[in-house]
Amino acid sequence: MTTLDVSALRTRFRGQVVAPGDAGYDAARRLFYGGLDPRPAVVIRPADAAEVAGVVTLARETGLELSVRCGGHSLVGHSVVDSGIVIDLAGLRAIAVDVEERTVWAQAGLTAGDVTNTVSEHGLAIGFGDTGTVGIGGITTGGGVGFLSRKYGMTIDNVLAAEVVTADGQILQVDAENHPDLFWAIRGGGGNFGVVTRFKYRLHQVPGVVGGMLMLPATPDVVHGFLREAAAAPDELSVIVNVMTAPPMPFIPADLHGQLVALGLVCYAGPADEGEKVLAPIRALAEPLADFVRPITYAEMFPAEEGGGGGEFHPTATARTLFADELSLDTVTRVLNQLETAPAPMRVTQFRPLGGAIARIADDATAYAHRGRPFMVNVAAFLDGPDTRPEREQWVLETAAIAENGDPGAYVNFLGEDGARRAREAYPGATWERLTQVKRQYDPENLFRHNVNIPPAA
């Protein structure tokens, strides 16, 4: 270990160098989720890919732990390492749209909202997740499941090329022809193989969508019907159904505050008249408690909100992600019973019907190996303090066990405290073996280990 000379670092790098005692230090180390208080030795915001390589070299020279930050949304704070070096990509914000080719080069300091807003000016879109403040680096390397996934595939299915800084400080241009194994691994394998400094994405013509929030009563028949209709709908429709306690928002009747509701986020990527027809059976399940679904631009699916770690809302929760091959009425009923009797005032079970374009790609085409799974489920309970964690964790595990069926599986971007234990569920069978081989080639010393880690093959 070496003590860092911060003055020397400020001479060495053109990008911003933030150290303990600096006015911006607390903001630089703050994360989206609460309950985390890492104190890095230094946060460096490189000016370009060459400086990213320089910081990687610095970590090797000093022996200090290294982490990479894009949006700061890691559930367990992987992006800010305690007592080590943080590469904060916030300064890498260049974006170049080729309207005729329908592609965009975007640097990894941009958020999903940044890229979406820029390309939407041309009637184009690339699907990320469902939160605009998430950094594109993290969501892309982990997979990217969101509002356009059933129509146009996951984010990784639209990555055409990338620029990657590897553990030895090289800057590589990777695609299907150049370093194909590395290109395969960064599409779903997370940040294990290097620092991706920019991506080239395929864009799609999406002049408008029928989208927004639809809130329905959280009865077993309504929630099961919502999932059944969404799974059977054309690929143009992607939905996220959050069964949760109604927040005290002004558009929700006061007598519903704190009561269970089914809050659906709906996106139909097609003509408005067709979207209304597809959504009619869902609306007919029950009288909506709130209905904000309407023709909008795709960018409006990502409303303005407090960015990354800079806002005042820093939730602390325990969660579990899983897949389900079926969600029967009985299963949904039992999950809702769990939600009714949960110890946490704020709790949620999120259902995501998958399929469509996601499932039409082979499991081994990318490092995301769960193509055929029809449903993703996420269970979370918010904490009121550290002493509430044990009971909330137990409730989450019990609820997840009710919903889970089929082979064990996990989506790496939603793994939390259980990430180390469940890495093999995120990357089953041959996917894990291939990833460890790629890791051995590009990061044999496991420099990039603050993530859901894939060790190099022996």
182-199 confidence digits (pLDDT tens): 999 999 999 999 999 999
Cα separation, 347 vs 334, in Å, equals 15
Cα separation, 110 vs 90, in Å, equals 7
How far is residue 35 from each of residues 317, 318, 405, measured CA to CA in Å? 9, 11, 31
Cα separation, 130 vs 265, in Å, equals 9
Name the helix (H) or strand (E) containing 402: helix 389-403
Q: Which pair of tokens denotes residue 381? A: 């309970």
Mean pLDDT of 104-115: 98
Residue 206 pLDDT exceeds 80: yes
Residue 350 pLDDT exceeds 70: yes
Estimate to the nearest angstrom the gap between the alpha carbon of 39 and the chain centroid: 24
Task: Give the 3-state secondary structure of residue 341.
Answer: coil
Cα separation, 116 vs 223, in Å, equals 30
Q: What is the mean pLDDT of the chain?
A: 95
Residue 414 pLDDT exceeds 50: yes
The rounded radius of gyration (Å) of the Cα atoms in the chain is 22
pLDDT score of 307: 43
pLDDT score of 2: 56
The angle formed by the CA atoms of residues 210, 307 and 135, to the nearest 5 degrees, is: 75
pLDDT score of 308: 43
Residue 448 pLDDT exceeds 60: yes
Q: Which pair of tokens denotes residue 374? A: 């029809």
Mean pLDDT of 311-336: 91
Helices 329-340 and 220-232: crossing angle in degrees, nearest 10, is 130
Contact 256, 246 (CB under 8 A): yes
pLDDT score of 35: 80
pLDDT score of 255: 87
Among 205-209, 223-227, 311-315, the minimum mean pLDDT is found in 311-315
One-letter amino acid for residue 308 of the chain: G
Residues forming a β-bridge with 348: 244, 380
122-177 confidence digits (pLDDT tens): 999 999 999 999 999 999 999 999 999 999 999 999 999 999 999 999 999 999 99
Mean pLDDT of 61-66: 96
Mean pLDDT of 376-388: 94
Cα separation, 220 vs 416, in Å, equals 28
Mean pLDDT of 368-373: 97
Q: Strands 85-88 and 66-69: what pairing?
A: parallel
pLDDT score of 310: 46
Cα separation, 401 vs 426, in Å, equals 17
Residue 320 pLDDT exceeds 50: yes
**How far separated are the first and last CA of the chain, in Å rounded?**
26
pLDDT score of 334: 98
The angle formed by the CA atoms of residues 87, 113 and 417, to the nearest 5 degrees, is: 55
Q: Which pair of tokens denotes residue 309? A: 């770690």
Q: Which residue has the tokens 């609820």?
A: 399
Contact 415, 426 (CB under 8 A): yes
Residue 81 pLDDT exceeds 50: yes
Cβ neighbours around 293 below 10 Å, total: 23
All domains in the chain, ordered by first residue = 13-91 (3.30.43.10), 95-205+429-442 (3.30.465.10), 209-420 (3.40.462.20)
Confidence of residue 34 (pLDDT cuts 50, 70, 90): confident
Per cent of the chain over pLDDT 70 is 98
Residues 6+ apart with CB under 8 A from 357: 149, 150, 151, 152, 153, 157, 235
Confidence of residue 303 (pLDDT cuts 50, 70, 90): confident
DSSP letters of 82-124?
A: TTSEEEEGGG---EEEETTTTEEEEETTSBHHHHHHHHHTTTE
pLDDT score of 335: 98
Cα separation, 413 vs 134, in Å, equals 11
